[in-house]
Amino acid sequence: MPATATATAEATSGPKSIHTVQGACPHDCPDTCALRITVEDGRVTRVAGDPEHPPTHGALCTKVSRYAERSYHPERVLTPLKRVGKKGEGRFEPVGWDEALDTIATRLKAIAARDPEAILPYSYAGTMGLVQGDGMAARFFHKLGASLLDRTICSSAGGEALAATYGGKVGMHVEFFAESRLILIWGSNPITSSVHFWNFAQQAKRAGAKLVCIDPRRTETAEKCHQHIALRPGTDGALALGVMHGLIVGGHVDDDYVARHVEGWPGLRERALQWPPERAAAVCGITADEVRALARDYGTTKPAAIRLNYGMQRVHGGGNAVRLVALLPCITGAWRHRAGGLLLSSSGWFKGARHDASLQRPDLLAGRTPRTLNMSTIGDALNHPGSPAFGPRVEAVVVYNSNPVAVAPHSGEVVRGFAREDLFTVVLEHFLTDTADHADVVLPATTQLEHWDAHTAYGHTYALLNRPAIEPLGGARSNAAIFRALAVRMGYTEPCFAQSDEAMAMSAFKAEHVDLDELAARGWSKLRIADAPFADGGFPTPGGKAWADAPGLGLPEHVANYECAEAAPELAARYPLAMISPPARHFLNSSFVNVASLRAAEREPLLEMHPADAIARGIADGAEVRVFNDRGEYHCKAAVSQRARPGVVNGLGIWWRKLGLNGTNVNELTHQRLTDIGRAPTFYDCLVEVAGVGEPFRVHAD
C-alpha cells in the first residue's frame, strides 16, 4: 500500500475505507499547490487544495480539480505500445514490458556504440517533480553520454535576464502582494494561469490598492484591474524606459538606494533620458499620458509591487525587456518594503535547497562533454542531420514530460523531423498525444496520483512532497521506474540506478534550508528567506548589487520584434497582423486538451480579432478562418471581440493538432528564431494574415 499522510477510516453505510493523502500539483504553473487527495476503496474520488498551505488556501484551478478525471481517463495509455503503422499515423499494438524495454535497450546500445550523442533526451515540465522530472532520467542520460538538452522553451530569456539583474531567479514572497498599494500585473494573466497569486492581488485591491494590467490582450485579469495598458506585443522594454524617464524627471529616484545597491545607473539614466513619454508611447502604440501616469503612480505609491510573467519575454527583445522592468524597483527603492519589489520567478531561492548533484549525477558524464541541443529549435535539429550548426545526426529521441509536436515552434518542421523513418523515437506518456503518435515505442507513465515526488515552486517559496494516493493504474510505471529498468538492461551497475522513487523524494532537500520534519508531516514547508530580502541590497550577484550594467551584456535597451513593421516592412505589408498565442484558461499548455469537460469549456480553437480588423476582412464572429503566413496555415474560429487590440490577433493555445479543425495548431505559424538573451523561442513575435473560409461576411452600408 502507498504510504499516506493521514489515514482516517470513517464508518459509512458500507465497508468503505476512506483516507486522504497529501500531494503536490505537478504542473508547470507558478502556484504549485498542496493537494489533499481523497481515496475511497482504492479509488481517488476527490482532488482538493490544502486549506492550510498559505498559497493554495484550500482552492484549486478548474483543471487540477479534474485531475482524477484526467488520471482515470478511458484513453490513458496503460500498456507499452509498439508502432505498426507509418510514423505519425498513431497505429500501435500492445506489447509486454520486457519486449518494449529490450527493443529500446538494444537500439540505444547499438547507436551508443557508434556515438552516444546521436541520442537526444527531450523533456520539459509535464511534471515539475525532482524525481519524475530530471532525476533518474538525468542519471540515465549522463551515464549514456547522450546529447544534453538546453531547456529553453518557456522561461530562459526571462530567467537569464533576471539573473543578469539580480544575480538569480529571486523575488518577492507571493503572500506579501496582499499588502501592496500598487500592483503592476505585467505580461501575466493570473486569473487564467496563476489564480492563487490573483487571490493575493484581490486582497490588496479590497484594501484599496490600485491594480494595473500591462498586456496587449484585454484578458479576464485586465477587465478586473483599475487600468489596462494595451501595448503592442514586444514593446515592454520601450515602456519601461519611458517609465524610467518619468521617474527621473518626476524626482522619484531613490538616490540613496541606487547609490548603494545598483551598479551602472549613470549609464542607464542617460539612456532613459532619451525616452520621453511621446517616444515610448509611439513605439508601444499607447498614449503619452498613459506612460506619464504609470511613471507617476509607480514613483509615488509605496509599497509598489510588480508581478511580471513570462508572457512578455516570448519576443526577440524579451531578455532586454525583463532586465528593464526588473530594474524599476531598484530605481525607486521599492525593495525596501516586503510588499514592494518584483516577482517573475522564485525558483532561484530553491537552488541551494536541493541536492541537485546527487539527484542528477552529472559526474556520471565522467569527463565527457556532449553537445547541447536547444529544445526550441528541435525542428531544425531533426531536419538538418549532420549540419555544422547541429553536429552529428540525431538517430534516437527519448521524449518524456513534453509534447514537442504540439508545443515547439514552427510545428510543420517539428512534424517533418519526427516523421523521419530513420529516427527511433520513444515516448513516455499518459496519452497518445501528437508526439506519441510519432513514436516507435510508447511507454505508459504514471500520473501524480500514482507516484512519489518532491517539488520546488517558481511562484512561491515552499518545498512540497507528493505521496502516491493509489497504486499505478494498469501497467503504468513512473518515469523513474522506467529509467531504472532501462539502466539494468543497459548494464549500468552504479547503486544510484537502484535507488527507489521514495528514497529520491525523501532525500531531495537539504536540512539547512527546509524543515524536513515539517515537510514529511504536512507535505510542505517554507524556505527560510527574509521577508524583505533586498531591503538593504544583498542581491545574489557577486558584489551584492543589482546590475543595470551587466557583465558581458552592457546596458539594457529596447529591441524590436523580428516580425514587425519597423524591422521587417516587406513582411509586415504581406502579413499585417501581429499574433500572440497565450494560454487558454482550461488547458495547461497542451495538457488537458483531451479532457472532455475542459475541452467543452474551450469549445473550439479560437482566434480573437478586433472588430475593425474583422470588418476589414469581412469576417463574422464565429466564422471559420484561415490564419496564415509563409510557414503554414491554421484553421480556427474567429472570436470578434474587444479582447484583441487593433492590429493584434490572439490565437489561444495550445490545442492538440489532431483535435484542431485542419490537423494543425497555432504553432504551425510560429518560427524558430531565438530571443536576445537565453536562447528562448519567440512565440509571440509572429506576423500573420487572416481570411475567411468560404463566403465572406458582407457589411451592410446602412
Rounded to the nearest 10 degrees, what angle do helices 236-249 and 288-300 cross at?
A: 60
Nearer to ligand MGD, 20 or 156 (CB): 156
- Which letter does DSSP use for residue 391 in this model? -
- Binding status of residue 156 toward ligand MGD by CB under 6 A: no
Helix boundaries (H) for 419-492: 479-490
Q: Which of 401, 456, 499, 525 binds ligand MGD (CB under 6 A)?
A: 401
Look up residue 291 and give its three cell numbers. Answer: 506612460
Stretch that binds ligand MGD, among 78-86, 113-121, 184-192, 348-356 (CB under 6 A): 184-192
How many Cα atoms within 13 Å fall on the side-chain side of residue 510? 14
Q: Smallest distance from the beta carbon of 28 to Mo ion, in angstroms?
A: 5
β pairing state of 524-526 and 632-640: unpaired
Helix boundaries (H) for 40-87: 67-71
Look up residue 218 and give its three cell numbers. Answer: 484585454
Q: Using the Cα atoms of residue 105, residue 108, residue 111 and residue 117 in order, give the sign of their dihedral.
A: negative
Query: Which one of ligand MGD, Mo ion, none interacts with residue 672, CB within 5 to 8 A by kind?
Result: none
Cis previous bond, 303, omega within 30 = yes
Q: Smallest distance from the beta carbon of 313 to Mo ion, in angstroms?
A: 11
Q: Which of 397, 469, 588, 609 binds ligand MGD (CB under 6 A)?
A: 588
- Binding status of residue 582 toward ligand MGD by CB under 6 A: yes
- Binding status of residue 418 toward ligand MGD by CB under 6 A: no
- Binding status of residue 191 toward ligand MGD by CB under 6 A: no
Q: Which of 374, 403, 629, 672 binds ligand MGD (CB under 6 A)?
A: 403
Nearer to ligand MGD, 534 or 655 (CB): 655
Buried b / exposed e along 595-612 (16+ C-beta atoms within 10 A): beebbeebeebbbbbbee
Q: Smallest distance from the beta carbon of 27 to Mo ion, in angstroms?
A: 10
Nearer to Mo ion, 90 or 233 (CB): 233
β pairing state of 262-263 and 227-229: unpaired
Please, is 75 exposed, middle or buried when counting C-beta atoms within 10 Å of its C-beta (0-12, 13-18, 19+)? exposed
- Binding status of residue 433 toward ligand MGD by CB under 6 A: yes
Residues 477-506 binding ligand MGD (CB under 6 A) are 479
Query: Which one of Mo ion, ligand MGD, none interacts with residue 374, CB within 5 to 8 A by kind?
Result: none
Query: Which one of ligand MGD, Mo ion, none interacts with residue 219, CB within 5 to 8 A by kind?
Result: ligand MGD
In this structure, are residues 334 and 164 in contact, taking their beta carbons and an 8 Å threshold?
Answer: no
In this structure, are residues 327 and 282 in contact, taking their beta carbons and an 8 Å threshold?
Answer: no
- Binding status of residue 648 toward ligand MGD by CB under 6 A: no
Query: Which one of ligand MGD, Mo ion, none interacts with residue 216, CB within 5 to 8 A by kind?
Result: ligand MGD
Binding pattern for the stretch 281-320 against ligand MGD, x by CB under 6 A and - elsewhere? ----------------------------xxxx--x-----
Q: By CB under 5 A, name the binding residues for Mo ion.
A: 154
Task: Please state, in angstroms and rounded to a whole number, the distance separating the CA atoms of residues 634 and 657.
Answer: 10
Binding pattern for the stretch 226-245 against ligand MGD, x by CB under 6 A and - elsewhere? -------xx-x---------
Total site size for ligand MGD, rule CB under 6 A: 60
Q: Smallest distance from the beta carbon of 186 to ligand MGD, in angstroms?
A: 6
- Binding status of residue 646 toward ligand MGD by CB under 6 A: no
In this structure, are residues 675 and 651 in contact, taking their beta carbons and an 8 Å threshold?
Answer: no
Task: Please state, in angstroms and rounded to a whole number, the distance separating the CA atoms of residues 131 and 508.
Answer: 8
| Nearest Cα residue to 290 out of 181, 183, 214, 220 | 214
| Nearest Cα residue to 229 out of 217, 237, 241 | 217
β pairing state of 92-94 and 210-214: unpaired
Residues of the shown chain interacting with ligand MGD in the complex, contacts defined by CB under 6 A: 28-30, 124-127, 132, 153-154, 186-189, 192-194, 214-217, 219, 233-234, 236, 309-312, 315, 400-403, 406-407, 428-431, 433, 445, 479, 580-583, 585, 587-591, 653-654, 666-667, 670, 683-684
